[in-house]
Amino acid sequence: MRTLLVNPPYPFSEIPILPMGLSYLAGVLEHSGHEVRVLDLLVSRYSKEKIKKKLEEYQPDIVGVTSVTLNYPIASDILKYTRSVDKDIITIIGGPHVTFAPVETLTEAPWIDIVVRGEGERTMLDIVSGKKLADIDGIAYRDKANGIKMTGERHLIENLDELPPPAKHLFPLSRYLALDVHASILTGRGCPFNCIFCVGSKMGGRRVRYRNPKLIIDEVEQAVSSGFREINFEDDHLTLNHQHLNALCDEIIARGLKFNWSAFSRVDTVNLEILSKMKQAGCAWLLYGVESGNQEILDTIKKKITLEKVRDAVKMAKEAGIGILASFIVGLPGETAETLKQTMQFAQGLGASYGFNVLSPFPGTEVREKAAEYGIEILTNDWTKYDCNRPLTRTKDAGPEEINAFLQQYFEALNKYLAQLEKESGASQGESAKEKRRSPLSIAILKGDVIENLATMKPEGNPVEALASKVAELVPYSHQQVKEDITKWVDKGLLKYTIKDGHLVWDWA
């Protein structure tokens, strides 16, 4: 069966990252001989007209969409529109949100036929291969005679090396490269911890399954040769298994690869030796999930770390020469005005970069399932608000008022710091800041399909200059800013023009 996989947009602005889940799904289907294409609406304009055009051109038998909680409403709406265009298309949705709310999803969205729960590669392959739905583990589906049906749990893929490489070539790579985002690469799946705000161990299993380091670095080499300048290893805990991590670093060093990379880490899984090895292999940044500056809250959320461990891990990383971003969550069970103050003071005292998210009680998390037990009041089930940037819950002593006041204080201080840094920065730092300021321009051009929607141009004068002039009329940026970005994209081979009927036609490579 012919399959169309859709990468839905987010209802808020952030730097887009090529989705690992969909690229693995596409890779498995393509490797097995099935026809598959991708409609990526994350780095282009989202419109019903675009979806209809793709459906009419490709005429898929199946349309599959992935989503997290935040963009579940958009993902569901895409399938609803798909069904209105062609009632015979099989509509499928997957991702963490629907994995933990399969019956609710099918009940509230009669236009969705199948929910894929958990790891989707083999499940999707079974569906596309035409296997009887009742015999496919890991799904919920609509049975016309007997209503909604849930099949058995799908066993996790034991050997991840059996999976073919993710089919990133089916995605508009030039658009991601134009945004200068990092490439995401997976080295393993699973999480042995059970933090109450996360579904990582439920989605990937409590036992971590690792990929062969040689295959991982093969993928890294391909990403770097494609033009990606930075790599982010997307694992929950890259630093958990030092033997595997050492082998990974050794492979990078042995091949003489020079690139910056980042990863997520726990403070209780690092030491100076492994951090030094990571630095030697090109590690530039680590994100430590710290969550709170109050030990009682850390114990309540089952984080299983201590504040002293956090301090030690930051100190060791700085000694190894690796940058640290300490990530915190406010609004956790037991939060008060005093614990918020403690968290801020603790973050400021680490001597590292830090940032704050706000608790979002996602479906499947223990904090949602046992909210009353943890003293949490959930204020809304409007999924479009589950962006971890606003208060959605209330504790006995800290609600939206306290959380918003805390965030306002943080962002005011952050903006003052950034303004002062820019004022005092030298030329090199100034150029870096300039590049970051231009990223909203790149997003505006890409997500607006600005270049694609331009009329054809007469081949007169400098083509880049002419294109920049036209684009500058359509976006709220200067001609010079637009020209700099377009020139950079053309020089990198990301943006090209062809001559058609005596006119210039610009498009992404």
* Domain interval for residue 38: 3-150
Q: Which is it for strands 114-116 and 139-143: parallel, antiparallel or unpaired?
A: antiparallel
Check whether residue 442 and residue 418 sit in a common domain. Answer: no
pLDDT for residue 432 is more than 80:
no
Same domain (yes/no): 408, 442: no
Q: Which of 407, 427, 447 is the last residue of a domain?
A: 427
Average pLDDT over residues 76-90: 98
Per-residue pLDDT at 417: 76
Alpha-carbon gap, residue 140 to 115, rounded angstroms: 5
496 and 457 within one domain:
yes
Q: Are residues 385 and 307 in the same domain?
A: yes
The region of weakest confidence among 14-18, 267-271, 351-355, 398-402 is 14-18
Tell me the average pLDDT across 431-444. Answer: 62
Q: What is the mean pLDDT of residues 419-432?
A: 58
Instruction: Answer yes or no: is 175 within a domain.
Output: no
Angstrom distances, CA of residue 84 to CA of 79, 91, 233, 392: 9, 11, 39, 33
Whether 299 has a pLDDT exceeding 90, the answer reads yes
**Do both 450 and 415 map to the same domain?**
no
Q: What CATH number should be reported for the domain holding residue 274? A: 3.20.20.70
Answer yes or no: is 283 within a domain: yes
Domain count, the chain: 3
State percent of the chain over pLDDT 90.
87
Q: For residue 296, how far is the Cα from the chain centroid? A: 30
* CATH number of domain containing 485: 1.10.10
Looking at the domain assignment, is residue 432 inside a domain?
no
- 288-302 mean pLDDT: 98
Alpha helical stretches, state H, 304-399: 307-320, 337-349, 366-369
Q: 170 is written with which tokens? A: 């089916």
Assigned domain for 161 exists: no
How many Cβ atoms sit within 10 Å of the Cβ of residue 78?
25
> Taking Cα atoms as reference points, which of 240, 241, 221, 246 lies closest to residue 231?
221
Distance of alpha carbon 65 from alpha carbon 22, whole angstroms: 8
Domain presence at residue 158: no
* Same domain, yes or no: 384 and 442: no
Residue 167 lies in a domain: no
Distance of alpha carbon 137 from its chain centroid, rounded? Answer: 26
Q: Decide if 162 is inside a domain.
A: no
Give the global pTM.
0.93
Checking phi first, is residue 361 left (phi over 0); if not, alpha (psi -120 to 50) or beta?
Answer: beta
pLDDT band at 502 (very low <50, low <70, confident <90, very high): confident
Q: How do residues 145-200 score in pLDDT, each as one tens digit?
A: 879 999 999 999 999 999 999 999 999 999 999 999 999 999 999 999 999 999 99
pLDDT at 430: 41
Query: Has residue 173 been placed in a domain?
Result: no
Is the same domain home to 9 and 108?
Answer: yes
Q: Are residues 128 and 271 in the same domain?
A: no
Is residue 481 domain-shared with residue 332, that is, in the same domain? no
pLDDT in tens, 36-61: 999 999 999 999 999 999 999 999 99
Which of 1-10, 138-147, 484-493 comes out lowest in average pLDDT? 138-147
Q: How far is CA 24 from CA 64, 102, 169, in A?
A: 13, 22, 11
- Per residue in 95-118, pLDDT (tens digit) is 999 999 999 999 999 999 999 999
Rounded to whole angstroms, what are the CA distances from 448 to 75, 133, 138, 443, 489?
Answer: 19, 39, 37, 8, 17
What share of the chain in percent tops pLDDT 70? 96
What secondary structure does DSSP assign to 12-65, as a single string? S-------HHHHHHHHHHHHTT--EEEEE-SSS---HHHHHHHHHHH--SEEEE
How sure is the predictor about 454, in pLDDT bands with cuts at 50, 70 and 90?
confident
